[in-house]
Amino acid sequence: MSQRTLAHYLIEEQRHKGVINADLRFLIEVVSRACQAISVAIGKGGLGGALGEAGSDNVQGEAQKKLDVLSNDILLNANEWGGHLAAMASEEMDLPHTIPHRYPQGEYLLLFDPLDGSSNIDVNVSIGTIFSVLKCPDGADLSSPEAAEAAFLQAGTSQVAAGYTVYGPTTLLVLTVGDGVVSFTLDREQGGFVQTGEAMKIPADTSEFSINMANQRFWEAPMQRYVSDMQLGKDGPLGKDYNMRWVGSMVADVHRIVTRGGIFMYPMDSKMKEKGGKLRLMYEANPMAMIVEQAGGAATTGYERILEIVPGKIHQRCAVIMGSKNEVDRATAMHKV
Ligand code: AHG
Ligand code: MN
Ligand code: MN
């Protein structure tokens, strides 16, 4: 494996392949530096005084952890002055953040889940950052945060880049600019991301599933059938045993699947129906779906391809089933009967 840095990879995507322009290259570098800063804050743990509750709720009514708020601020501060963005939206903010007038405005929109897996922060288990990049439509009204929301309401197929960082035993950045999936490991001594994975591919078949089984009785009938077939293992219709893994941080659970295959599900359940599901379409489902599809996998709600959902609001939620293609196809087929 060549020791290419993230900067080097991005230059090649721009210069040789013409897949990205200089602004998008800069944007991704800035996001990666913000993630590096988040990684440092997380790494300090209890020593940095960053663990615990922030004492506030976000727009979804969820209690914010100090690191949720800190990570959000790091991403906002890193990205607002560079001239590459028109606006930002975050799971942790009610409304989009427009770029202050003192800075130039760019052509991109950045969306993020600054800290994914918040319930794992205080127990020292892997967490992450997820981000998605869209182009700002020409003539979009950015005169106020309220008006700016409309610019973001694009289907996931319009994403020009998506990525996530896993803060685990190593800090890893996984990225797609629509040209396959690559990964970079944070070199803590040198300070920067070095490429450690290329052309990542999710095996089409798997015998590992990832779901919060505690919600089983709340799922819809097709999901009940799909999972119970796997639980029956060798004795059931699938004729093979399955294993189960659930970290509880979407980033970590999907990263395992991007690495070695599997199927990740946060399906619709009766507790979450009013809200539209548990996971957020624009900060979690769409960027992860783009990566999974770029790695040869599939991503659906059970009824439609996630990337084709046209959002009605930025904080919209959806059911999520993603990972190894043949498993996702089987789950989808069960929703059709
Ligand atoms: P967040 O910490 O950004 O709110 O997201 C948490 C999400 C996701 O990461 C994970 O898959 C899921 O919530 C965990 O839900 P359970 O509490 O049902 O395990
Ligand atoms: Mn999340
Ligand atoms: Mn979050």
pLDDT of residue 52: 87
Q: Is 250 in the pocket of ligand 1 (CB under 6 A)?
A: yes
Residue range 172-182: mean pLDDT, rounded: 98
Alpha carbons 139 and 135: distance in angstroms, whole number: 12
- Which protein residue has the closest C-alpha to ligand 1 atom 15? 248
- Asked whether the beta carbons of 78 and 36 are under 8 A apart, the reply is no
% of the chain with per-residue pLDDT over 70: 99
Q: Which two tokens stand for residue 337?
A: 């009967």
Tell whether the model's pLDDT for residue 1 goes beyond 70.
Answer: no
Q: 168 pLDDT band (50/70/90 cuts)?
A: very high
| Dist. CA 332 → ligand 2 center (Å) | 24
Q: What is the pLDDT of residues 65-79, one digit of tens each?
A: 889 999 999 999 999
Q: 44-48, 112-116, 225-229, 241-245 — which is least confidently predicted?
A: 44-48
Grouping H, G, I as helix, E, B as strand and the rest as coil, residue 127 is strand
For domain 208-335, which architecture applies?
A: 3-Layer(aba) Sandwich (3.40)
- Identify the nearest ligand to the CA of 283 by its number: 2
The rounded mean pLDDT for the chain is 96
Secondary structure string (H, E, C) spanning 208-221: EEECCHHHHHHECH
Give me the residue spans of the domains in the chain: 6-197, 208-335
Q: What is the pLDDT of residues 253-270, one digit of tens each?
A: 999 999 999 999 999 999
Q: What is the pLDDT of residues 77-92, one digit of tens each?
A: 999 999 999 999 999 9
Tell whether the model's pLDDT for residue 54 goes beyond 90.
Answer: no
The domain defined by 6-197 folds into Fructose-1,6-Bisphosphatase; Chain A, domain 1 (3.30.540)
Tell whether the model's pLDDT for residue 37 goes beyond 70.
Answer: yes
Q: Which two tokens stand for residue 101?
A: 């007038």
Instruction: Label residue 331 exposed, middle or buried (CB < 10 Å: 0-12, 13-18, 19+).
Output: buried
- Asked whether the beta carbons of 68 and 92 are under 8 A apart, the reply is yes
pLDDT of residue 59: 82
Q: What is the pLDDT of residues 149-164, one digit of tens each?
A: 999 999 999 999 999 9
- Asked whether the beta carbons of 306 and 287 are under 8 A apart, the reply is no
Q: How many CB atoms lie within 10 A of CB 313?
A: 13
pLDDT of residue 2: 57
The single-letter code of the amino acid at 29 is: E
Q: Report yes or no on whether pTM surpasses 0.95.
A: yes
Q: Is 29 in the pocket of ligand 1 (CB under 6 A)?
A: no
* In the chain, beta strands by DSSP E: 53-57, 63-65, 85-90, 97-98, 108-116, 127-135, 161-167, 171-176, 182-187, 192-197, 208-210, 243-244, 263-266, 279-280, 298-300, 317-318, 320-323
Tell whether the model's pLDDT for residue 48 goes beyond 80.
Answer: no
Q: Is 117 in the pocket of ligand 1 (CB under 6 A)?
A: yes
- Identify the nearest ligand to the CA of 320 by its number: 1
Pairing of strands 108-116, 85-90: parallel
